[in-house]
A and B are shown apart, each in its own frame.
Chain A
Amino acid sequence: MLEIKNLHVNVDGREILKGLDLTLPQGEVHAVMGPNGSGKSTLAYVLAGKEDYEVTAGSVTWKGEDLLAMSPSERAASGVFLAFQYPLEIPGVATMTFLRTAVNAVRKARGEEELSTPDFLRLVRAKAKLLKIDIEMLKRPLNVGFSGGEKKRNEILQMALLEPALCVLDETDSGLDIDAVRIVAEGVNALRSPKRAMLVITHYQRLLNYIVPDRVHVLSDGRVARSGGPELALELEESGYAEFGEAASGAAA
């Protein structure tokens, strides 16, 4: 379903991804782990189509199409969703308004009818309840003054509403306490489906106690250094990234 081949990416003239290969079949959940600077977030941004990330070689095929040729909005319409590590604030725009604009933009692009206000409200209420999000929170301007947990839950709410086929979660657990991690993870697990692939990017193993992946890939110096089953994450928990991290920074220097 998602096939990344020999991906090389430059940021500000510096090569971050150096020939990354990764295949994510439909219905599977893969975790991407790795030390800081190994290229995890770069991979997330490249998949979502952020500017200033220059692909110098390689390919990303998504549902048989060239993902890299698509604009960010086209990717969203085709089912790619990135849960941001640092969600952005938009003052003056009620979260609810943002959600509705996004849902309808994506529906329109997919050739579906826009949701009526009552239908939309019903949908939001149902999904918000699952994530223990208070509807009052959605009346506040998008992410403005939200706590870390609120921001991340809001990301997962968007994911639930946009019904993506590929979910990329960029360090969704960072900055969350254990209860918040559990709530977010439950929200993510509720979205696991045979029709949906997920790429869970995380620095720590703890998130994977709740979201149990089918495969784990360890990134080091812009490449997948090792792949394995869920037990690989546990192994890393014990041994740390020394084996990958130190080597990576040494090579980069």
Chain B
Amino acid sequence: MPAVQETVARVKEIDVDKYKYGFFTDIESVKAPKGLNEDVVRFISAKKGEPDWLLDWRLEAYRRWLTMQEPTWANVVHPKIDFQDLYYYSAPKSTEGPKSLADVDPELLRTYERLGIPLSEQKVLAGVEGARVEGRVAVDAVFDSVSVVTTFKEELAKAGVIFSSVSEAVKTHPELVRKYLGSVVPITDNFYATLNSAVFSDGSFVYVPPGVRCPMELSTYFRINAEQTGQFERTLIIADEGSYVSYLEGCTAPMRDEKQLHAAVVELVALDDAEIKYSTVQNWYPGDKEGKGGIYNFVTKRGDCRGKNAHISWTQVETGSAITWKYPSCILRGDGSRGEFYSIAISNGYQQVDSGTKMIHLGKDTSSRIISKGIAAGHSNNTYRGLVSAHRRAANARNFTCCDSLLIGDKCGAHTVPYIEAKNASATFEHEATTSKISDDQLFYCLSRGLSAEEAVALIVNGFVRDVLQQLPMEFMAETQKLISISLEGSVG
């Protein structure tokens, strides 16, 4: 099935040489006036033709946000963000019409083609003739503030899976959206999540009905294009009883001198015996060699194991963004539920990463596992921050945490900040942490076997992150390995 492999590989062909996604698409867009006030919130809601309950929800979040302060506890440094100097809504003009593929601006399609995402269903289908459905990936593409196209929708519908943009789901399945939106990350949650609730533009919506195993990988591709525009997407995934879904998101942005803000919210709900596997390959523009430009990635991701024996697994590969502030978490509410967090965070140049997870054990016999691999090179700073807590009713809660840091060079930093709170005496929490450095001797050993310095570093780093790489969907492993090598280019010699 080489055609299938090719299709899949193209979707996630994240990077092959330097930051090749730094281009900008000249496309006419509709923007809300600069800055943020109630009128802008109303403008966004009106643009999307939203029902009153959602507008009220947004306004409540906005008013709440006005009373909040930006968090300062993260181990990152950046100038204060002027929230009035941003556009909160930008959409390619042409998507205002009907949203079938034929109506999509050809310029936009070309952009996605350059990103390696085959959006044309016909083309994809032609490429996979005779292939099994499992080998394919359905894509939802989000351009600036709106979702431009979702592929394989009909085929998924046959299985009963709903996969669409959130805006569309608000229209087609309001009862589901209303029931679950904000139920994991409430509008009061934190500064950036509250801001997102007020102005979120689009994102993906997934609902997998009871007992259904989603027939293919679902994927969202995020792209920031417009200048001075914040991207605030909102993703909501619901796995009903006994269902399974695997979801992957990828992100890129043009190279720009000024910083861009990305404040997304992802909510996952897993009911009884359901499983959600959520993978991220994040390659937002990290800024140039001197640390100019790049994305501020301030994201709230949380999964709720709401039912018994529910299972949520986060896998993330973080290589981009100037600053990453992100803690994909699991609330282990259902008895016997399981949460997992596998992370590879690579920082080079002047990147700053403060990332980790929270495992909140509420139910009985819940277990969680955290494997975090931080790699710091250049002048970067890489912090793991994690919380593992057991509620007093969480009998037999178990956690295993392993945080490994690898340093390349002598101007970078790695930090581990674990918080552990056990209010139940039967909880068993294990924590392991190591920090190591690629030694000159290891490098020389590889060089003397004919490897180049870059091949050697890539090999050693890939060995270091192996446990986590294995958690990624098979199709994306090879590309991710390549991405890791590219992110570390110029880090030695």
Contacts and interface: CB of A to CB of B under 8 A. Distances in A.
Given A77-B450, A109-B450, A101 B455 contact: yes
B440 interface: yes
A88 B463 CA distance: 14
Contacts of A81: 448
A105 B452 CA distance: 8
Interface in A48-102: 48-51, 71-73, 75-77, 81-82, 84, 87-93, 97-98, 101-102
Contacts of A98: 449, 459
A102 B442 contact: no
A88 B459 contact: no
B393 interface: no
A72 B447 contact: yes
Given A50-B444, A90-B442, A158 B449 contact: yes
A88 B441 contact: yes
Contacts of A88: 439, 441-442, 445
B110 to A, nearest CB: 34
Contacts of A50: 444, 448
8 contacts: A48-B444, A77-B450, A82-B448, A84-B445, A92-B465, A101-B455, A105-B452, A162-B450
A162 B452 CA distance: 15
A238 B147 CA distance: 84
Contacts of A72: 444, 447-448
B462 A102 contact: no
Nearest to B452: A73
Contacts, number: 75
Interface of B: 439-442, 444-453, 455, 459-460, 462-467
Contact of B464 (A75, A77, A87, A91): A91
A158 B455 CA distance: 18
A106 interface: yes
Interface string A210-229: 00000000000000000000
The 9 A-B pairs at the shortest CB distance, nearest first, are namely A92-B463, A93-B463, A76-B450, A72-B447, A106-B450, A102-B449, A88-B445, A105-B450, A92-B466
Contacts of A141: 463
A51 B444 contact: yes
A88 B462 CA distance: 16
Most A CB within 10 A of own CB, among B441, B450, B467:
B450
A201 to B, nearest CB: 15
Contacts of B463: 90-93, 141-142
Contacts of A75: 448
Task: Bin the interface of chain A by size.
Answer: 20 to 34
A90 B441 CA distance: 11
Contacts of A48: 444, 448
B418 to A, nearest CB: 22
Contacts of A92: 462-467
Contact of B451 (A87, A89, A102): A102
B435 to A, nearest CB: 13
Interface of A: 48-51, 71-73, 75-77, 81-82, 84, 87-93, 97-98, 101-102, 105-106, 109, 141-142, 158, 162
A49 B445 CA distance: 11
Given A72-B444, A75-B448, A90-B463, 18 more contacts: A50-B444, A71-B447, A72-B447, A73-B447, A73-B452, A76-B447, A77-B450, A89-B442, A90-B445, A90-B460, A93-B459, A93-B463, A98-B449, A101-B455, A105-B449, A105-B451, A105-B455, A142-B463
A234 B451 CA distance: 39
Nearest to A50: B444
A168 B459 CA distance: 25
A93 B460 contact: yes
A73 B445 CA distance: 10
B452 to A, nearest CB: 6
A97 B451 CA distance: 13
A73 B455 CA distance: 11
A47 to B, nearest CB: 10
Contacts of B467: 92
Contacts of A89: 442
Contact of B449 (A51, A91, A162): A162
A159 to B, nearest CB: 10
B373 to A, nearest CB: 10
Contact of B448 (A49, A91, A97): A49
Contacts of B460: 90, 93
A106 B464 contact: no
A36 to B, nearest CB: 20
A87 B448 contact: no
A76 B453 CA distance: 13
A110 B464 CA distance: 29
A73 B441 contact: no
A75 B444 CA distance: 12
Contacts of B449: 76, 98, 102, 105-106, 158, 162
A105 B450 CA distance: 6
Most B CB within 10 A of own CB, among A72, A91, A93, A102:
A72
A55 B27 CA distance: 60
Contacts of A84: 445
A53 to B, nearest CB: 11
Given A102-B450, A102-B451, A87 B445 contact: yes
Contacts of B450: 73, 76-77, 102, 105-106, 109, 162
Contacts of B444: 48, 50-51, 72
Contacts of B448: 48-50, 72-73, 75-76, 81-82
A73 B492 CA distance: 15
Contacts of A109: 450
A101 B440 contact: no
A2 to B, nearest CB: 16
Contact of A101 (B447, B459, B464): B459
A162 B448 CA distance: 11
B465 to A, nearest CB: 8
Contacts of A73: 447-448, 450-453
A141 B439 CA distance: 17
B466 A51 contact: no
Contacts of A87: 445
Contacts of A49: 447-448
B447 A90 contact: no
A44 to B, nearest CB: 10
A82 B441 CA distance: 13
